[in-house]
Structure 1
Amino acid sequence: MYSAIFALLSLVCSARGATLLRGGTFITYSESSSNLEIITDGAMLFNDTILAISDTIDGLDSHLNDQDTETVNTTGKIISPGFIDTHRHTWQTAMRTLGPNVQLENYMWLFGTTGPAPLIFSPDDIHITSLMGTLEALNAGVTTSLDFAHVTWTRAHAQAALQGVIDSGARVWWCYNVGPVVISGDPYTVNTSAPIDQLAHIRELAKDSPFNGGLVTLGIAADPPTAEIVETAQNNSINVITAHDVEGPFGSGTGVITLVNNLTPGSPTLNSSLAFVFAHASLFTPAEARLLREFNQYVSITPESEMHYGHGHPASYLIQDQAALGVDTHFTFSIDIIGQMRIWLQSTRLGLYQETLDRFKIPSNTPMTVRQAFLLGTRNGGLALKRPDLGVLKVGAKADVLVFSTDAIGLIGWSDPVAAIVLHSNVADIEDIYVDGKLVKKSGKLIVDWQGEGFADSLRNIAVKFREALAKTNIAAFEAGVKKSSGVTDQDLQDPFQVDVTRGDGTGF
């Protein structure tokens, strides 16, 4: 099944010559100013890599008659680098709308990898839900994702999830999760020896990585990483390790950033060519901020997730120079980085405005700009992966390119292209998408015929299967098991204040 789908996608995304985008407004990046540079009525030539950018519409016209160059009229449009999502659990697509009011505590035994999912989803299910999760991100302009794949319950599940992201045509760091695996719900039983075979499987897969012409790269995910995991990465040319970092009442007391840095006695682990990406890092310490800056490692801020689940991000605005953005569990809320840029920008503004208001003063400037938010969703994602050639439009960068139509009623009259994208655009405004120079979305539609190939029907069936199985599951057994393994007791829990939105009786809750 997987090979047939892969052949189809390879055909529609087959290699082609150069592309010349002629006209339009380009959001480029200048190394000399370390900032965005806007080019109006420019042109850009690329194959898998950006070959030339002109600040005039006719500056690259010498290529108009090249036999292997396709010219695209982008007059009036906005051309942007592709977005980068540095924390996503792609396999959870089939759970969509099941967790609109879930918080982190009960997510773990309902929808997380410590819940019943390993006992319900088949490898074929995981292939489809991973493929569709990656395609929906791609459709939203996310050309690069860091997939924290905690779906590696068996080798078959792991292989299916990996094949799903390969088949999508997106650029993905697929991070194989190393950790215990649930093998029974009642009684709640976990195989704590699973990492032995998981690491062996990683070493086997690493021989073939990267996959799909370099678009999909093997990484490792773990909570937390161990010295053996770091050694496995170093010995098998794996360049990314990612981990969750949620401390405070959720954590163990030792920050994950600190823990990881101390894995190799006598030498700071973070002082490495490996990219370490810490998801959330909601309650990092000043010492950990210094470590991130000293060794150039990054956190992934997932604004909507941290609001939705309740683990927060009280000080994350202080580490944005070593941060990028992520979506996290896309089955519960927005799937796109546009939304994360917008939410993070406005919530950061609110918090810092409030500090000024609390001093009985009037804010006289903005604490954060749209350009800064845009950089978090593009260039900083590339830097988090130690790939400065991603998330930017500049000569020598990979040609991951978005073309925004500006004909929609919500964009007519724009003058600032960055503000237009961050504060006014939506996914439907993304007209064309190129990944590695290949056209994967044209005129607002993915090249992959995901409906015609039956992927949508398959995903619907998988979603129904999961809902029905979840309804029959003894969730109390999972809850007790997860609480026991995490050390959480009822004394650690407290209901937050609940709002009332209904006049008179009732609250609307």
Structure 2
Amino acid sequence: MTLSVQSLPGGSTAGVTNSTIFLQGGTIVTYSKASNSVEILRNSSIFIQDYRMISIGETPSLEVLAKAEVINLEGKIVSPSFIDTHRHGWQTEYKTNGSNTTLASKVFTVEDVYIGQLTSIYESLNAGVTSILDHVSHVWSKETFKVGLKPSVDSGARVWWAYAIHDVGSSFTIDDRFEDLEKLARDEERLLKGSSTSVGLEYGGDLDLSVITTHYVGAYGDTNSVELLDSYSALESKTPIVFSHASALTETDTALLRKHNQFISINQAALGVDTHFSFSSDMILQARLWLQATRLRLYRKVLADAKAPVNNPMSVNQAFLLATRNGAMALRRDDLGIIERGAKSHYPALLYWGYEHILIDRKFKKRDGEFVVDCEGMKERFLPSAERIQKIWAETE
């Protein structure tokens, strides 16, 4: 079961619930800032008012409860919602044949971009992921730029929409992109009005943006290293910077990340799904894979010396925090990714990895195991798009 509660201004009132909510009877995964660790409260409760946590483990007065929506979570495990700090959402149509394709974009129409992005976000919501840093690489034209932004707004998810500034050889130049980005950052066309989507930048800039993100892989193209950005004093920006992959991370890079409190998405780390068409959008699964891969790498060093490890080099709690608390820290949102008094009310409630409810602000996106949004209409639009694109790749030698 997933119950995700977010504060989103405005929007439709479909599936509306009270602004006062009392979650009772669940096992709650909280976070202690003092110990920087997970703490478990059994048979506990959470009282939410105006989409923030007012109290944990305390029952409000009968007068307050009479006005609240009470949701019974007995037998459920309630955790913070999950945060994906690196994603290319528009690529959903590549599912099932992603390993056999390149990422050439010329076969995608504006409809393909829209429905691929929307389907990607709902796949994430279904897995309890309510916050996404989307590295927006579908901006090869003014048309695909706008149509790719719209589903992030329409979905109601919390999306950091990071506009990619890169040269793809089209007539839509880098100067054109900066011009559009400036308009978008000021929301001159009111494209973001009443939504929780905020504007970021894929590479850099001096606008008042919510986030800056860049690939840092080292071997291909521009390095975009931590050290390089530091040479331009970019790390001193008040805007959070998230380096995706960081495959070529050096000790100097690591020291600079710690000094300036900047993060990588993969000490100063969060998790990102990246190409969701090849992997699951479930951040719990990604955390488990990271945990086991890290244990394997560190165990091998000990086993190579014909010794047996005496302790665990990485805990489940550490992996869990990568998918929750650390994602929020990467975005400098101290009110996300945790369950504590005063934080934003984002929750998944998990049992047997099934998801029953997804509640964002006053709108249920999923209730009693069924989406209340028009998923059938989304499927009707997505399947022809995916079939057309997959057929093109199947016929390409």
TM-score by length of 1: 0.72
Deviation at 1:250, TM superposition (A): 3.6
| Unmatched segments (≥5 aa) in structure 2 | 1-10
CA distance in 2, matches of 1:99, 1:219: 27
Match of 1:220 in 2: 201
Are the aligned partners of 1:19 and 1:70 in contact in 2 as well (CA < 8 Å)?
A: yes
For the pair 1:392 / 2:338, whether they are aligned, the reply is yes
SS in 2 for 1:243: strand
Deviation at 1:14, TM superposition (A): 4.2
Match of 1:140 in 2: 127
CA distance in 2, matches of 1:449, 1:261: 46
* Partner of residue 176 from structure 1, selected from 141, 163, 176: 163
Match of 1:257 in 2: 226
Deviations for 1:274-323, whole angstroms, at most 9, x for unmatched residues?
A: 1110110012000000010000000001xxxxxxxxxxxxxxxxxxx200
Map 1:154-303 to 2 at 5 A.
154-181=141-168, 190-191=169-170, 194-208=173-187, 211=192, 213-221=194-202, 225=203, 229-231=204-206, 233=207, 237-247=208-218, 249-250=219-220, 254=223, 256-263=225-232, 268-301=233-266
Match of 1:445 in 2: 370
- Higher CA-based Rg: 1
Map 1:487-502 to 2 at 5 A.
none
Percent of pairs with identical residues: 38
Match of 2:113 in 1: 126
For the pair 1:469 / 2:395, whether they are aligned, the reply is no
CA distance in 2, matches of 1:337, 1:388: 19
What CA RMSD, in Å, does the superposition of the two structures yield over aligned residues? 2.1
**Relative contact order higher in (CA < 8 Å, ≥ 6 apart):** 2
Deviates more, 1:430-439 or 1:369-378: 430-439
Deviation at 1:139, TM superposition (A): 0.6
CA distance in 2, matches of 1:456, 1:462: 10
Match of 1:98 in 2: 97
Deviations for 1:435-482, whole angstroms, at most 9, x for unmatched residues?
A: 34643322223331311xx11011110011212333555x7xxxxxxx
Map 1:329-478 to 2 at 5 A.
329-404=275-350, 406=351, 408=352, 426=353, 429-436=354-361, 438-451=363-376, 454-471=377-394
CA distance in 2, matches of 1:212, 1:450: 24
Deviation at 1:193, TM superposition (A): 6.2
| Unmatched segments (≥5 aa) in structure 1 | 1-8, 103-109, 182-189, 302-320, 409-425, 476-509
* Partner of residue 51 from structure 2, selected from 49, 52, 59: 49
2:205 maps to amino acid: V
For the pair 1:73 / 2:19, whether they are aligned, the reply is no
Match of 2:61 in 1: 62
CA distance in 1, matches of 2:63, 2:163: 44
SS in 2 for 1:11: coil
CA distance in 2, matches of 1:27, 1:437: 23
Deviation at 1:166, TM superposition (A): 1.0
Change (3 A) 1:179 1:65: same
| Greater share of residues in helix | 1
CA distance in 1, matches of 2:88, 2:144: 14
Deviation at 1:212, TM superposition (A): 5.5
CA distance in 2, matches of 1:297, 1:220: 15
2:324 maps to amino acid: T
Change (3 A) 1:343 1:18: same
Change (3 A) 1:396 1:274: same
Deviation at 1:81, TM superposition (A): 0.5
TM-score by length of 2: 0.91
Between the two proteins, the alignment pairs up a number of residues equal to 385
Match of 1:10 in 2: 12
Deviations for 1:56-93, whole angstroms, at most 9, x for unmatched residues?
A: xxx31415654541001111111110000000000001
Are the aligned partners of 1:400 and 1:437 in contact in 2 as well (CA < 8 Å)?
A: no
CA distance in 2, matches of 1:197, 1:63: 58
Deviation at 1:180, TM superposition (A): 1.7
